[in-house]
Amino acid sequence: MKLKKQVTVCGGAIFCVAVFSLYLMLDRVQYDPARRQNSGNFPRSQISVLQNRIEQLEQLLEENHQIISHIKDSVLELTETGVGAPGAQLPYRNPNGSWVVPFDGRPAFLSVSPQDCQFAHGRRGHKTDLQMLDVYSLLNFDNLDGGVWKQGFEITYDPGEWDSEPLQVFVVPHSHNDPGWIKTFDKYYSDQTQHIFNNMLVKLQEDPRRKFVWSEISFFAKWWESADSQKREAMRRLILGGQLEMVTGGWVMTDEANVHYFAMIDQLIEGHQWLEKNIGVTPRSGWAVDPFGHSATMPYLLKRANLTSMLIQRVHYSIKKHLSATRSLEFMWRQAWDLESGTDIFCHMMPFYSYDVPHTCGPDPKICCQFDFKRLPGGRVNCPWKVPPRAIVEANVAERAYLLLDQYRKKSKLYRSKVVLVPLGDDFRYDKAQEWDQQYLNYHRLFDYMNSHPEMHVHAQFGTLTDYFDAVYKANNVAQGARPPSYPVLSGDFFAYADREDHYWSGYYTSRPFYKNMDRVLESHLRGAEILFSLALAHSRRAGMQGRYPTSDYTLLTEARRNIGLFQHHDAITGTAKEAVVIDYGVRLLRSLVGLKRVIINAVHFLILRNKDNYHFYQTEPFLETDERRATQDSLPQRTLIELDSTPRFLVLFNPVEQERLSLVTVLVNSARVRVLTEEGQTIPVQLSAQWSSISEMSNDGYQATFAARLPALGLAVFQLYDSFDSSLTLHSDTVLRLNGHKLALRSLDPLPLRSLPADQNTFYIHSQSLQLGFSGTTGLLERIKLKDDQQEVKLQMEFLIYGTRPSKDKSGAYLFLPDGKPKPYTQKEPPVVRVEEGPLFSEVVASYQHFQLSVRIHNLPGVDGLSLDITTMVDIRDQANKELAMRLVTDIQSEGTFFTDLNGFQIQPRRYFKKLPIQANFYPMPSMAYIQDSQHRLTLHTAQALGVSSLDNGQLEVILDRRLMQDDNRGLGQGLKDNKRTANMFRILLERRASINKVQDSQPVSFPSLLSHMTSVFLNSGVLALPVLPKKGGIPPLRSFAPLSGTMPCDYHLLNLRTIQSQKEEQVPSPDAALLLHRKGFDCGLEAWNLGFNCTTTQGKLSISGLFQGLDVQSIHPMSLSLMYAGAPLSNGSLIRLDPMEISTFRLRLR
């Protein structure tokens, strides 16, 4: 009875709070002249102001209706969990052995507007001319010999076809410069790239008809830094005059398989911002000749950056042949979720094997090679087809011109317009003045002859990429970027890539996973540092203290942006560079990680001080310590040890997620008598566990203290840690070693218990409030899972497998995956030692094998972190030769050959297992997640690093963890993969019940994660940072938590970045403006809705930016193109913005 009374009181209190909050919100939207004064002057009419106010009011009323409608459910939930019951502050055990941990009892609800569910469910009738999944089903992949064009077919034409409309030929000179591959970025620059720029400057000025395109801004910026003002001005004239075109304009030509969309966008912004500041030019066309397969995310990002056209090259030869046969190599590339044409971008696919000169003038490489004048006799490069080029002179120009025109005509027959594109270049070309003369002078003689003979019906010239695209649009009588009549619309992606035979480039999805993981850690730190730096800068301006805040940290941010951008290059994150180059990338990443931690620490220092007058920045005396340290670029992180005594040690936790978060936080302390207090002084439960020096030995180097923390969105929370005798809320992990016949030395650490048991074959279990997991008594590997409220267990079996490589001929290497057949089960002579650790906040099973250690942990929490399995595989295969280690999940899910992988963490691409293709062709990149499903369940494998994934049988998901290969795979690297590291791969496994099934929807070429799945991915990739405050002689000034958001963001919104923009006047100095990048996620409502642990509402895409940040005024808001190159009309201060599902938008804000 007493409990019911308490629950009633609690429910009443919640109701009062909801009503009072409605009153405050109504008050908030009232017109306040003083606020308008502080927020800058905005052009607006009284009617639009009134409309905005009404919209805000409607939104707030709807939110509060949803809040009140959920109070009853929340109260019932409080009753079930016993929160508020006498003595419920101490964790206790249920009769079944599972722990119950009382939390703050704050109600949390999920309230999704029905209209927001329609996006994922309303996809019927959506059809493009070319859907890549259907193309894959259609093709035989038979690799027939096509004659001179080995992978194609014979091309014929009628010589009179161009009589009425002459052929237009655009020859586009280019030089592909890898920012690291065989040599490091700096070595390439000093040996070759700087000479390309210096010769370019001279040679393009010699003749205005000469053209060139350049892509990698990383190299161009390095040249610019050392160029004098005269050279800079000359180069600027060439660009603005249209002789030199900057194509794509990213910091690098990014990989498209392993990269996360945060980093894809960031390197694009970095390149575009550099071009805007230094040249004043905006790229119009995309150029991607070397990424090993192409993602559908890239056209979306280029379209959002206001580029109008794009070019791609590395696509499976069978797909190229199919599109060539139907003259569909040029198409409008549309996103799979787009029911109209808003995401369309014009795309040109190159038809032949490579982007080098022998494979670009036409179908016959033997002839095209004769027109690569760098290969003239006497040079270092020759033609493999044994027919060398000949210099063009009066005696041979006619014969040579007709021979070349025949290739141009044949190539043009593969396209729908009478305009043909002929790239002229290769890797690191044009580094010597002689080549510029050889190519340009000989081609001008050919062009002059062609153009002066009208009977040839051709006009040939040098051009830029945009010159070509403009001619195509003009020939079709459409505007730039518009769809020419009858041109096809295509959706889907171009993975996996094969360049010949069964040589699929699916190995690089996993190659060097240590650095793929490190990259993701850097991205999370960069985003966190950007957001905190922007907020600290704005608050320091508001407090009139901008002169005291270390704006010099902007230099560290810029360096990190550029080093992370460099690593997105298609030979960096891919794991396909030389060993010395990999070390160079690693050193750069580690240096930036250290710099980013410093930026974060300096921002946190300012933001958590209760009284900002106490703020003093000293470069040599940081206020906080870092959470962890890496000794070298290739070592795993080690937690910082926090020394405790009877005086409080303050700990600041940073939540980089835009939603409130309830998560477990683990810190390393020197005392077992640790006590943790919240900012309000409330003692909270702690689970004390050991650090392990081996599977059976506890380390003497400290204790792990784990506690649950509720953290504000994008905010900072302050906790206190003591060494205290009064530690009734410090509970010890109970650890059992299942020895399986091993005679191991056990080492415990007082007061933590350690027991050993002879293992048996019976299944053993660990529990949480949401999950029950069953493990094999023999292998220690997961076998089954049961969700809360389910009566039946679900099969979820983990297996480890070994792939070999082919015994003869071509073998697997850094790029290629060429297995010797199906994988074999991983076996070792001795059974594994298994450690089972149980406690009130988490339970964990660790199985120790010779080449890997598998940890499966569950969190005893409500909300996102408590609903998935936390998986870590510590892999070390350094003693293996030509072996690849895979982890397979085996379930009873009837997936029937269909599985789903993400593209760049941005969107989901359905896949099918094709028996007609070899194993390696059925692997795909998995940057953030993959799932299988049937009518009852969906099983998602979330990952914290990009790896290769497949589903080779019904109900299975399989991921390659690491690969060690002893030979080169003949793609230019000249090395195997022998520099493996001890690597921690991190995953989350999420099993969801499907609540509503729609077979039509399931067959569509598009799919979406649930909101829970989205949040699980974000939590995994954006870990909480735990920063200890360093002790000070004079004591610590008063601290307080920092919550930057004034309300909750809609939970289908992701704040992708808040990136301080560079000053246009000074180098390495921040401007008062920041770029706010928002992504509204598409999600599937057809999965059972769980309590996410925070209040989750959707608003049909509406958001008020002006009221987003607490304690700051938004002085101006400008909608921008993705990379800030184009500005829209400024928004009024009270405006609501609205994003469509899947939309990414950028806004330029001035905060104060």
Catalogue the active-site residues: 290
Buried-exposed string 569-594: b where 16+ CB fall within 10 A, e elsewhere: bbbbbbbbbbeebbbbbbebbbebbe
Q: How far apart are CA 42 and CA 471, in angstroms?
A: 42
Rounded (5°) CA angle 517-667-655:
65
Q: How far apart are CA 1046 and CA 890, in angstroms?
A: 45
* Residue 751: cis peptide before it, omega within 30 degrees of 0: yes
Q: How far apart are CA 1010 and CA 998, in angstroms?
A: 15
End-to-end CA distance of the chain: 52
Q: How far apart are CA 227 and CA 247, in angstroms?
A: 21
DSSP state of 1151: E
Of the candidates 566, 475, 483, 518, the one whose C-alpha atom is nearest the C-alpha of residue 266 is 566
Kindly tell me the sign of the dihedral angle through the C-alpha atoms of 384, 385, 386, 391: negative
Q: How far apart are CA 696 and CA 693, in angstroms?
A: 8
Q: How far apart are CA 334 and CA 130, in angstroms?
A: 10
Beta carbons within 8 Å of 1072's beta carbon, 6+ residues apart: 541, 1150, 1152
Rounded (5°) CA angle 1068-1070-1076:
125
Q: How far apart are CA 399 and CA 367, in angstroms?
A: 13
Residue 706's identity, in one-letter code, is T
Alpha helices, DSSP H, located in 859-913: none
The DSSP bridge pattern shows strands 110-111 and 1144-1151 to be unpaired
Residue 851's identity, in one-letter code, is H
Establish how many alpha carbons lie within 13 A of residue 174's alpha carbon, considering only the half-sphere containing its beta carbon.
30
Instruction: Report yes or no: 450 and 460 within 8 Å, Cβ to Cβ.
Output: yes
Tokens at 255, concatenated: 């990989």
Q: How far apart are CA 1116 and CA 639, in angstroms?
A: 42
Burial of 682 (0-12, 13-18, 19+ CB in 10 A): exposed
Provide the 10 A C-beta neighbour count for residue 772: 18
For 27-59, the DSSP string reads HHTS--HHHHHHT------HHHHHHHHHHHHHH
Helical (H) or strand (E) element with 168: strand 167-176
Helical (H) or strand (E) element with 205: helix 194-206
Beta carbons within 8 Å of 406's beta carbon, 6+ residues apart: 362, 367
C-alpha 353: how far from chain center: 29
Give the total residue count for the chain. 1152
Q: How far apart are CA 140 and CA 135, in angstroms?
A: 10
Q: How far apart are CA 132 and CA 296, in angstroms?
A: 11
Of the candidates 694, 772, 668, 812, the one whose C-alpha atom is nearest the C-alpha of residue 991 is 772
Q: Helix (H, G, I), strand (E, B), or coil: what is residue 348? A: strand
Beta carbons within 8 Å of 270's beta carbon, 6+ residues apart: 217, 250, 251, 561, 562, 565
User: Between 261-278 and 513-542, two packed helices, what is the crossing angle to 10 degrees?
Assistant: 60
